[in-house]
Structure 1
Amino acid sequence: MGGACGYGNLFTTGYGTNTAALSSTLFNNGYGCGTCYQIRCTSSSACFAGSPVATVTATNLCPPNWAENSNAGGWCNPPRTHFDMSMPAFKKIAYWKAGIVPVMYRRVPCVKRGGLEFTFQGNGYWLLVYVMNVGGGGDIASMWVKGSQSDWISMSHNWGVSYQAFATLQGQSLSFKVTSYTTMQTLLAWNVAPSNWQVGLTYQASVNFR
Protein backbone atom coordinates (compact mmCIF):
# COMPACT_ATOMS: atom_id res chain seq x y z
CA MET A 1 0.00 0.00 0.00
CA GLY A 2 1.10 3.56 -0.56
CA GLY A 3 4.67 3.57 -1.80
CA ALA A 4 7.00 5.79 -3.77
CA CYS A 5 4.75 6.08 -6.83
CA GLY A 6 1.83 7.67 -5.02
CA TYR A 7 -0.94 5.21 -5.87
CA GLY A 8 -2.25 5.20 -2.30
CA ASN A 9 -4.66 2.37 -1.51
CA LEU A 10 -3.86 -0.19 -4.22
CA PHE A 11 -7.30 -1.79 -3.97
CA THR A 12 -9.36 1.36 -4.38
CA THR A 13 -7.10 2.58 -7.20
CA GLY A 14 -7.48 -0.71 -9.06
CA TYR A 15 -3.99 -2.19 -8.81
CA GLY A 16 -4.70 -4.88 -6.22
CA THR A 17 -1.92 -7.28 -5.23
CA ASN A 18 -0.42 -7.96 -8.67
CA THR A 19 2.28 -5.42 -7.93
CA ALA A 20 6.01 -5.07 -7.36
CA ALA A 21 8.55 -2.54 -6.13
CA LEU A 22 11.38 -1.92 -8.61
CA SER A 23 15.07 -1.55 -7.92
CA SER A 24 16.23 2.00 -8.61
CA THR A 25 17.67 0.97 -11.99
CA LEU A 26 14.18 0.04 -13.20
CA PHE A 27 12.38 2.67 -11.11
CA ASN A 28 14.16 5.41 -13.08
CA ASN A 29 13.44 8.27 -10.67
CA GLY A 30 9.72 7.51 -10.81
CA TYR A 31 9.36 7.25 -14.57
CA GLY A 32 9.08 3.47 -14.16
CA CYS A 33 5.92 3.81 -12.09
CA GLY A 34 2.96 2.11 -13.75
CA THR A 35 5.01 -0.10 -16.06
CA CYS A 36 3.91 -3.73 -16.41
CA TYR A 37 6.06 -6.86 -16.45
CA GLN A 38 5.67 -10.59 -16.92
CA ILE A 39 7.90 -12.46 -14.48
CA ARG A 40 8.85 -16.14 -14.60
CA CYS A 41 10.86 -18.08 -12.01
CA THR A 42 13.85 -19.92 -13.50
CA SER A 43 16.79 -22.11 -12.47
CA SER A 44 15.57 -22.78 -8.94
CA SER A 45 14.05 -25.77 -7.16
CA ALA A 46 11.51 -23.32 -5.72
CA CYS A 47 10.01 -22.60 -9.16
CA PHE A 48 6.58 -24.07 -9.80
CA ALA A 49 6.25 -26.77 -12.45
CA GLY A 50 5.27 -25.47 -15.85
CA SER A 51 7.01 -22.13 -15.28
CA PRO A 52 3.87 -20.02 -14.77
CA VAL A 53 4.13 -16.26 -15.15
CA ALA A 54 2.93 -13.42 -12.94
CA THR A 55 1.99 -10.09 -14.51
CA VAL A 56 2.66 -7.17 -12.19
CA THR A 57 2.46 -3.38 -12.22
CA ALA A 58 5.29 -1.31 -10.72
CA THR A 59 3.86 0.67 -7.81
CA ASN A 60 6.83 1.25 -5.51
CA LEU A 61 10.61 1.61 -5.15
CA CYS A 62 12.87 -1.04 -3.66
CA PRO A 63 15.68 1.16 -2.28
CA PRO A 64 19.37 0.20 -2.27
CA ASN A 65 20.87 -1.38 0.83
CA TRP A 66 24.49 -0.29 0.63
CA ALA A 67 25.35 -2.15 3.84
CA GLU A 68 24.95 -5.46 1.99
CA ASN A 69 26.57 -6.93 -1.10
CA SER A 70 24.31 -6.90 -4.16
CA ASN A 71 24.53 -10.72 -4.27
CA ALA A 72 23.81 -11.19 -0.57
CA GLY A 73 21.09 -8.93 0.74
CA GLY A 74 21.55 -5.78 -1.31
CA TRP A 75 19.32 -7.14 -4.03
CA CYS A 76 18.10 -3.70 -5.10
CA ASN A 77 21.53 -2.09 -5.34
CA PRO A 78 22.34 -0.55 -8.74
CA PRO A 79 22.93 -1.69 -11.39
CA ARG A 80 20.97 -4.84 -10.47
CA THR A 81 17.46 -5.20 -11.85
CA HIS A 82 15.22 -6.61 -9.14
CA PHE A 83 11.52 -6.99 -8.35
CA ASP A 84 10.29 -6.94 -4.76
CA MET A 85 6.99 -8.68 -5.44
CA SER A 86 3.90 -8.76 -3.26
CA MET A 87 3.46 -12.16 -1.66
CA PRO A 88 0.32 -13.04 -3.70
CA ALA A 89 2.23 -12.24 -6.92
CA PHE A 90 5.33 -14.16 -5.81
CA LYS A 91 3.22 -17.19 -4.92
CA LYS A 92 2.09 -17.43 -8.54
CA ILE A 93 5.59 -18.37 -9.70
CA ALA A 94 7.42 -20.00 -6.77
CA TYR A 95 7.19 -21.37 -3.25
CA TRP A 96 7.11 -18.31 -1.01
CA LYS A 97 9.50 -19.76 1.57
CA ALA A 98 12.30 -19.47 -0.97
CA GLY A 99 12.30 -15.73 -0.33
CA ILE A 100 14.28 -14.85 -3.45
CA VAL A 101 14.54 -16.64 -6.78
CA PRO A 102 16.20 -15.90 -10.13
CA VAL A 103 13.69 -14.77 -12.75
CA MET A 104 13.24 -14.00 -16.39
CA TYR A 105 11.19 -10.90 -17.08
CA ARG A 106 9.90 -8.79 -19.93
CA ARG A 107 7.96 -5.55 -20.33
CA VAL A 108 4.39 -6.03 -21.52
CA PRO A 109 1.63 -3.54 -22.35
CA CYS A 110 -0.59 -2.58 -19.44
CA VAL A 111 -4.19 -3.59 -20.12
CA LYS A 112 -6.60 -1.28 -18.31
CA ARG A 113 -10.35 -0.85 -18.29
CA GLY A 114 -11.76 2.64 -18.61
CA GLY A 115 -9.95 5.90 -19.20
CA LEU A 116 -7.03 7.66 -17.55
CA GLU A 117 -7.75 8.76 -14.00
CA PHE A 118 -6.59 12.07 -12.53
CA THR A 119 -6.61 12.58 -8.77
CA PHE A 120 -6.31 16.23 -7.72
CA GLN A 121 -4.41 17.71 -4.79
CA GLY A 122 -3.12 21.22 -4.14
CA ASN A 123 -5.20 24.41 -4.28
CA GLY A 124 -6.43 27.09 -6.67
CA TYR A 125 -2.87 28.31 -7.29
CA TRP A 126 -1.00 24.99 -7.31
CA LEU A 127 -2.45 21.91 -8.96
CA LEU A 128 -0.91 18.51 -8.15
CA VAL A 129 -2.27 15.64 -10.23
CA TYR A 130 -1.74 11.90 -9.79
CA VAL A 131 -2.24 9.98 -13.07
CA MET A 132 -3.53 6.43 -12.66
CA ASN A 133 -5.03 3.54 -14.63
CA VAL A 134 -2.59 4.19 -17.47
CA GLY A 135 -2.73 1.63 -20.26
CA GLY A 136 -0.15 0.83 -22.94
CA GLY A 137 3.33 1.65 -21.68
CA GLY A 138 1.80 2.40 -18.28
CA ASP A 139 4.18 5.29 -17.65
CA ILE A 140 4.12 9.06 -18.03
CA ALA A 141 6.97 11.17 -19.45
CA SER A 142 5.36 14.59 -19.58
CA MET A 143 2.04 16.27 -19.04
CA TRP A 144 0.23 19.53 -19.74
CA VAL A 145 -2.97 21.07 -18.39
CA LYS A 146 -5.31 23.50 -20.14
CA GLY A 147 -7.96 25.53 -18.41
CA SER A 148 -11.05 26.67 -20.27
CA GLN A 149 -9.60 30.20 -20.05
CA SER A 150 -5.91 29.42 -20.51
CA ASP A 151 -3.45 28.01 -23.03
CA TRP A 152 -1.63 24.70 -22.50
CA ILE A 153 0.58 24.84 -19.38
CA SER A 154 3.52 22.45 -19.04
CA MET A 155 3.44 20.51 -15.77
CA SER A 156 6.63 19.52 -13.96
CA HIS A 157 7.30 16.06 -12.56
CA ASN A 158 6.81 16.15 -8.79
CA TRP A 159 7.43 12.51 -7.79
CA GLY A 160 6.19 9.08 -8.84
CA VAL A 161 3.03 9.50 -10.92
CA SER A 162 2.34 13.10 -9.83
CA TYR A 163 2.74 16.24 -11.94
CA GLN A 164 2.26 19.83 -10.87
CA ALA A 165 1.38 23.21 -12.32
CA PHE A 166 1.82 26.51 -10.51
CA ALA A 167 -1.11 28.35 -12.06
CA THR A 168 -4.46 29.85 -11.14
CA LEU A 169 -6.92 27.30 -12.50
CA GLN A 170 -9.76 27.45 -9.99
CA GLY A 171 -13.13 27.97 -11.65
CA GLN A 172 -11.99 26.60 -15.02
CA SER A 173 -12.81 23.25 -16.60
CA LEU A 174 -9.58 21.32 -17.16
CA SER A 175 -8.19 19.28 -20.04
CA PHE A 176 -4.92 17.31 -20.06
CA LYS A 177 -2.30 16.23 -22.57
CA VAL A 178 -0.23 13.20 -21.53
CA THR A 179 2.80 11.59 -23.19
CA SER A 180 3.97 8.04 -22.45
CA TYR A 181 7.64 7.64 -21.47
CA THR A 182 7.93 4.31 -23.29
CA THR A 183 5.90 4.73 -26.47
CA MET A 184 6.09 8.54 -26.75
CA GLN A 185 2.40 8.41 -27.71
CA THR A 186 0.45 11.51 -26.68
CA LEU A 187 -3.20 11.57 -25.67
CA LEU A 188 -5.52 14.54 -25.42
CA ALA A 189 -8.10 14.25 -22.65
CA TRP A 190 -10.60 17.04 -23.14
CA ASN A 191 -12.81 18.47 -20.38
CA VAL A 192 -11.76 15.91 -17.79
CA ALA A 193 -12.78 18.03 -14.80
CA PRO A 194 -15.67 20.53 -14.62
CA SER A 195 -15.19 24.15 -13.59
CA ASN A 196 -16.18 23.34 -10.00
CA TRP A 197 -13.46 20.68 -9.61
CA GLN A 198 -12.21 19.99 -6.11
CA VAL A 199 -9.01 18.65 -4.60
CA GLY A 200 -9.28 15.17 -3.16
CA LEU A 201 -11.47 13.95 -6.00
CA THR A 202 -10.64 11.70 -8.96
CA TYR A 203 -11.77 12.49 -12.50
CA GLN A 204 -11.77 9.97 -15.33
CA ALA A 205 -11.04 10.69 -18.98
CA SER A 206 -12.71 8.89 -21.84
CA VAL A 207 -9.38 7.90 -23.44
CA ASN A 208 -6.47 5.62 -22.56
CA PHE A 209 -3.28 4.24 -24.08
CA ARG A 210 -3.37 0.83 -25.72
Structure 2
Amino acid sequence: MAVAVNHNCFLVSVMVLLPAFCVSLDTFTSSRATYYGSPDCLGTASGACGYGEYGRTVNNGYVTGVSKLYRNGTGCGACYQVRCKVPKLCTDYGVNVVVTDYGEGDRTDFILSASAYTKMAQPNLALELVAYGTVDVEYGRISCQYPNTNLMFKVHENSRFPVYLALVVLYQAGQTEITAVELWQEDCQQWRGTRRAYGAVWDMSNPPRGSLDLRFQATSTNGEWVLLKGVIPSDWKAGVAYDSAFQLS
Protein backbone atom coordinates (compact mmCIF):
# COMPACT_ATOMS: atom_id res chain seq x y z
CA MET A 1 0.00 0.00 0.00
CA ALA A 2 1.23 3.49 -0.72
CA VAL A 3 1.72 6.05 2.02
CA ALA A 4 -0.30 9.16 1.31
CA VAL A 5 -0.54 12.22 3.52
CA ASN A 6 -2.01 15.68 3.23
CA HIS A 7 -0.17 18.72 4.47
CA ASN A 8 -0.52 22.42 5.02
CA CYS A 9 0.68 24.97 7.55
CA PHE A 10 -0.54 27.13 10.43
CA LEU A 11 -4.01 28.47 9.51
CA VAL A 12 -5.07 25.37 7.58
CA SER A 13 -5.51 22.13 9.51
CA VAL A 14 -2.92 19.42 8.93
CA MET A 15 -4.18 15.86 8.59
CA VAL A 16 -1.33 13.41 9.17
CA LEU A 17 -0.71 10.32 11.22
CA LEU A 18 0.32 11.51 14.66
CA PRO A 19 2.22 9.08 16.89
CA ALA A 20 1.09 8.62 20.47
CA PHE A 21 4.08 9.11 22.72
CA CYS A 22 4.55 7.20 25.93
CA VAL A 23 6.60 9.43 28.19
CA SER A 24 8.53 7.90 31.06
CA LEU A 25 11.55 10.03 31.81
CA ASP A 26 13.60 9.94 34.97
CA THR A 27 16.31 12.33 33.79
CA PHE A 28 16.83 14.85 31.04
CA THR A 29 20.06 15.79 29.27
CA SER A 30 21.00 19.45 28.88
CA SER A 31 21.71 20.68 25.36
CA ARG A 32 20.82 23.40 22.86
CA ALA A 33 18.35 23.60 19.99
CA THR A 34 17.73 25.80 17.01
CA TYR A 35 15.35 25.59 14.03
CA TYR A 36 15.40 25.60 10.26
CA GLY A 37 13.11 27.55 8.01
CA SER A 38 10.72 25.98 5.51
CA PRO A 39 7.80 27.55 3.59
CA ASP A 40 5.22 25.35 5.31
CA CYS A 41 6.92 25.01 8.73
CA LEU A 42 7.19 21.24 8.37
CA GLY A 43 10.15 18.92 7.79
CA THR A 44 12.21 18.38 4.65
CA ALA A 45 11.77 15.73 1.97
CA SER A 46 15.54 15.58 1.40
CA GLY A 47 16.57 14.61 4.92
CA ALA A 48 19.55 12.38 5.63
CA CYS A 49 17.33 9.55 6.90
CA GLY A 50 15.95 8.99 3.39
CA TYR A 51 12.32 9.33 4.43
CA GLY A 52 11.21 11.60 1.59
CA GLU A 53 7.71 13.01 1.99
CA TYR A 54 7.20 11.03 5.21
CA GLY A 55 10.02 13.06 6.75
CA ARG A 56 8.12 16.28 6.06
CA THR A 57 4.79 15.42 7.58
CA VAL A 58 5.09 12.61 10.13
CA ASN A 59 4.06 13.66 13.64
CA ASN A 60 2.31 16.77 12.30
CA GLY A 61 5.68 18.03 11.07
CA TYR A 62 7.12 18.07 14.59
CA VAL A 63 10.43 16.64 13.42
CA THR A 64 14.10 17.31 13.99
CA GLY A 65 17.55 16.96 12.58
CA VAL A 66 20.12 15.80 15.12
CA SER A 67 23.90 15.71 15.32
CA LYS A 68 25.43 13.14 17.69
CA LEU A 69 22.04 11.46 18.20
CA TYR A 70 21.99 10.56 14.49
CA ARG A 71 24.50 7.76 15.23
CA ASN A 72 25.32 6.97 11.58
CA GLY A 73 21.64 6.59 10.80
CA THR A 74 20.60 4.25 13.60
CA GLY A 75 18.97 7.22 15.35
CA CYS A 76 16.51 7.78 12.48
CA GLY A 77 12.92 7.43 13.63
CA ALA A 78 13.74 7.88 17.32
CA CYS A 79 11.43 10.06 19.41
CA TYR A 80 12.45 12.67 21.95
CA GLN A 81 10.78 15.09 24.30
CA VAL A 82 12.52 18.47 24.03
CA ARG A 83 11.74 21.43 26.29
CA CYS A 84 13.40 24.81 26.27
CA LYS A 85 14.70 26.55 29.37
CA VAL A 86 13.84 30.21 28.89
CA PRO A 87 11.92 31.36 31.99
CA LYS A 88 8.32 32.53 31.40
CA LEU A 89 8.67 31.90 27.67
CA CYS A 90 8.60 28.10 27.41
CA THR A 91 6.02 25.54 28.46
CA ASP A 92 6.86 22.93 31.06
CA TYR A 93 6.27 20.07 28.64
CA GLY A 94 7.92 21.29 25.43
CA VAL A 95 7.45 19.21 22.27
CA ASN A 96 7.73 15.59 21.18
CA VAL A 97 9.70 15.16 17.96
CA VAL A 98 10.75 12.41 15.54
CA VAL A 99 14.30 12.28 14.14
CA THR A 100 14.17 12.53 10.35
CA ASP A 101 17.46 14.24 9.44
CA TYR A 102 21.06 14.98 10.34
CA GLY A 103 22.14 18.52 11.10
CA GLU A 104 24.70 20.54 13.03
CA GLY A 105 24.16 23.99 14.52
CA ASP A 106 25.87 26.18 17.09
CA ARG A 107 26.66 23.48 19.70
CA THR A 108 23.17 22.08 19.23
CA ASP A 109 21.86 18.53 19.41
CA PHE A 110 18.55 19.45 17.77
CA ILE A 111 17.66 21.44 14.67
CA LEU A 112 13.88 21.49 14.90
CA SER A 113 11.31 22.22 12.24
CA ALA A 114 9.82 25.67 12.74
CA SER A 115 6.52 24.19 13.93
CA ALA A 116 8.31 22.03 16.51
CA TYR A 117 10.46 24.91 17.75
CA THR A 118 7.50 27.23 18.29
CA LYS A 119 5.53 24.43 19.95
CA MET A 120 7.88 24.81 22.95
CA ALA A 121 6.66 28.37 23.54
CA GLN A 122 3.89 29.55 25.81
CA PRO A 123 0.70 30.61 23.99
CA ASN A 124 1.15 33.83 21.99
CA LEU A 125 4.91 33.89 22.65
CA ALA A 126 6.15 31.94 19.63
CA LEU A 127 7.64 35.00 17.91
CA GLU A 128 9.59 35.90 21.03
CA LEU A 129 11.06 32.40 21.12
CA VAL A 130 11.93 32.51 17.42
CA ALA A 131 13.86 35.73 18.06
CA TYR A 132 16.27 33.78 20.28
CA GLY A 133 17.30 31.60 17.33
CA THR A 134 19.11 29.10 19.57
CA VAL A 135 18.00 28.20 23.08
CA ASP A 136 19.11 25.99 25.94
CA VAL A 137 16.99 22.85 26.16
CA GLU A 138 16.78 19.56 27.96
CA TYR A 139 15.73 16.35 26.27
CA GLY A 140 14.99 12.70 26.89
CA ARG A 141 14.32 9.64 24.73
CA ILE A 142 10.69 8.57 24.71
CA SER A 143 8.81 5.65 23.21
CA CYS A 144 6.72 6.46 20.15
CA GLN A 145 3.76 4.44 18.97
CA TYR A 146 1.68 4.72 15.81
CA PRO A 147 -1.88 3.70 16.71
CA ASN A 148 -3.46 1.26 14.24
CA THR A 149 -0.41 1.47 11.97
CA ASN A 150 2.11 -1.29 11.35
CA LEU A 151 5.81 -1.08 10.59
CA MET A 152 6.15 -0.43 6.86
CA PHE A 153 8.87 -0.96 4.29
CA LYS A 154 8.86 1.56 1.47
CA VAL A 155 10.66 0.77 -1.77
CA HIS A 156 12.88 3.81 -2.25
CA GLU A 157 12.34 5.84 -5.41
CA ASN A 158 15.90 5.08 -6.55
CA SER A 159 15.13 1.34 -6.72
CA ARG A 160 15.25 -0.24 -10.18
CA PHE A 161 13.17 -3.37 -10.66
CA PRO A 162 14.49 -6.06 -10.67
CA VAL A 163 18.22 -5.26 -10.36
CA TYR A 164 18.40 -2.90 -7.37
CA LEU A 165 16.20 -2.73 -4.30
CA ALA A 166 16.39 -0.12 -1.52
CA LEU A 167 14.01 -0.25 1.44
CA VAL A 168 13.11 2.55 3.85
CA VAL A 169 11.76 1.65 7.30
CA LEU A 170 8.69 3.73 8.24
CA TYR A 171 6.51 4.03 11.36
CA GLN A 172 9.07 2.48 13.70
CA ALA A 173 7.50 2.37 17.15
CA GLY A 174 8.99 1.90 20.60
CA GLN A 175 12.43 2.87 21.84
CA THR A 176 14.42 0.71 19.47
CA GLU A 177 16.80 0.81 16.51
CA ILE A 178 16.82 -1.63 13.60
CA THR A 179 20.36 -2.99 13.30
CA ALA A 180 20.18 -5.53 10.44
CA VAL A 181 17.86 -6.44 7.54
CA GLU A 182 18.10 -9.64 5.47
CA LEU A 183 16.20 -11.08 2.48
CA TRP A 184 15.62 -14.80 1.81
CA GLN A 185 17.25 -16.19 -1.36
CA GLU A 186 15.03 -19.16 -2.20
CA ASP A 187 17.20 -20.73 -4.91
CA CYS A 188 20.28 -20.72 -2.64
CA GLN A 189 18.34 -21.47 0.53
CA GLN A 190 20.09 -18.73 2.47
CA TRP A 191 19.55 -15.29 3.97
CA ARG A 192 21.30 -12.38 2.25
CA GLY A 193 22.16 -9.29 4.25
CA THR A 194 21.27 -5.85 2.98
CA ARG A 195 23.55 -2.85 3.42
CA ARG A 196 22.65 0.22 5.44
CA ALA A 197 23.09 2.66 2.58
CA TYR A 198 22.38 5.68 4.78
CA GLY A 199 19.89 6.70 7.44
CA ALA A 200 16.89 4.37 7.44
CA VAL A 201 17.66 3.06 3.91
CA TRP A 202 18.77 -0.57 3.43
CA ASP A 203 19.73 -1.71 -0.07
CA MET A 204 20.83 -4.69 -2.17
CA SER A 205 22.01 -5.17 -5.75
CA ASN A 206 20.51 -8.12 -7.65
CA PRO A 207 17.90 -8.90 -4.98
CA PRO A 208 16.12 -12.27 -4.91
CA ARG A 209 13.25 -12.72 -7.36
CA GLY A 210 9.67 -13.41 -6.43
CA SER A 211 7.78 -12.51 -3.27
CA LEU A 212 10.34 -11.62 -0.61
CA ASP A 213 10.56 -12.86 2.95
CA LEU A 214 12.35 -10.35 5.15
CA ARG A 215 13.83 -10.56 8.61
CA PHE A 216 15.39 -7.91 10.81
CA GLN A 217 17.11 -7.45 14.14
CA ALA A 218 16.44 -4.55 16.48
CA THR A 219 17.89 -3.41 19.76
CA SER A 220 14.65 -4.43 21.46
CA THR A 221 14.70 -8.04 20.18
CA ASN A 222 17.79 -9.11 22.15
CA GLY A 223 19.52 -10.52 19.11
CA GLU A 224 16.47 -12.45 17.88
CA TRP A 225 15.35 -12.11 14.26
CA VAL A 226 11.82 -10.94 13.43
CA LEU A 227 10.57 -12.82 10.37
CA LEU A 228 8.13 -11.15 7.97
CA LYS A 229 6.95 -13.52 5.25
CA GLY A 230 6.06 -12.19 1.80
CA VAL A 231 6.20 -8.57 2.93
CA ILE A 232 7.64 -7.39 -0.42
CA PRO A 233 5.62 -8.65 -3.44
CA SER A 234 7.25 -10.14 -6.52
CA ASP A 235 6.24 -7.13 -8.64
CA TRP A 236 7.46 -4.49 -6.17
CA LYS A 237 7.41 -0.90 -7.36
CA ALA A 238 9.56 2.10 -6.50
CA GLY A 239 7.83 4.63 -4.28
CA VAL A 240 5.33 2.15 -2.77
CA ALA A 241 5.25 1.30 0.95
CA TYR A 242 4.28 -2.23 1.98
CA ASP A 243 2.58 -3.12 5.27
CA SER A 244 4.51 -5.64 7.37
CA ALA A 245 1.48 -6.63 9.50
CA PHE A 246 3.84 -6.24 12.48
CA GLN A 247 4.79 -3.48 14.88
CA LEU A 248 7.59 -3.01 17.38
CA SER A 249 6.77 -2.23 20.98
Note whether the superposition's TM-score is higher than 0.5.
yes
* Matches of 1:204 and 1:75, distance apart in 2: 39
Query: Scaled by the length of structure 2, what TM-score is found?
Result: 0.69
How many residue pairs align between the two structures?
192
The one-letter code sitting in structure 2 at the alignment partner of 1:85 is L
Q: 1:107 to 1:183 in 2, by over 3 A?
A: farther
Normalising by structure 1, report the TM-score. Answer: 0.81
* Structure 1 segment 85-164 matched on structure 2, within 5 A: 85-94=112-121, 95-113=129-147, 114-120=149-155, 121-137=159-175, 139-146=177-184, 149=187, 150-164=189-203
Residue ranges of structure 2 left out of the alignment (5+ in a row): 1-43, 122-128
Counterpart amino acid of residue 31 in structure 1: T
2:227 maps to: 188
- Residues 145, 90 of structure 1: alpha-carbon distance in 2 compared, 3 angstrom cutoff: same
Unaligned stretches of 5+ in structure 1?
64-72, 77-81
How far apart, in 2, do the equivalents of 1:20 and 1:11 lie?
Answer: 9
More helix by share: 2
Out of 44, 50, 63, the residue aligned to residue 6 of structure 1 is: 50
Superimposed CA distance per residue, residues 166-196 of structure 1 (whole angstroms, 9 cap, x where no aligned partner): 23423x1112212224665643222112222
Other-structure match for 2:35: none
Deviation at 1:144, TM superposition (A): 0.9
Q: Bigger shift: 179-188 or 153-162?
A: 179-188
Check the 8 A contact 1:15/1:57 in 2, yes or no: yes
Q: Within 1, Cα distance between the matches of 2:247 and 2:115?
A: 27
Q: Provide Cα deviations, 1:89-108, integer angstroms capped at 9, x if missing partner.
A: 11121322222211111101
For residues 112-164 of structure 1, the C-alpha deviation after alignment (integer angstroms, 9 at most, x for no partner) is 23111111123312211111111112532111112555532111110010011
Q: Does the residue aligned with 2:60 lie in a helix, a strand or coil?
A: coil
Q: Distance in 2 between matches of 1:179 and 1:155?
A: 12
CA contact (8 A) 2:73 2:200 kept: yes
RMSD between superposed Cα atoms in Å:
2.3
The percent of aligned pairs where both chains have the same amino acid is 27
